[in-house]
Amino acid sequence: MIDLDTEICVCNSLTVKDIAIVIKEHKLHDLEELIKNTDCPMGDKCEACLDEGYNNDGLNIPMVISMVKRGVL
Let me know if residue 28 belongs to a domain: yes
pLDDT at 12: 92
Let me know if residue 50 belongs to a domain: yes
Q: What is the C-alpha to C-alpha distance for residues 48 and 28, in angstroms, rounded to an integer?
A: 20
pLDDT at 27: 95
39-67 as b/e, with b when 16 or more CB fall inside 10 Å?
A: ebbbbeeeebbbeebbeeeebbbebbbeb
Range of the domain at 47: 7-69
pLDDT tens for the chain, 73 residues: list them.
789 999 999 999 999 999 999 999 999 999 999 999 999 999 888 889 999 998 888 899 999 999 999 999 9
Q: Amino acid identity, residue 27? A: K
Number of domains in the chain: 1
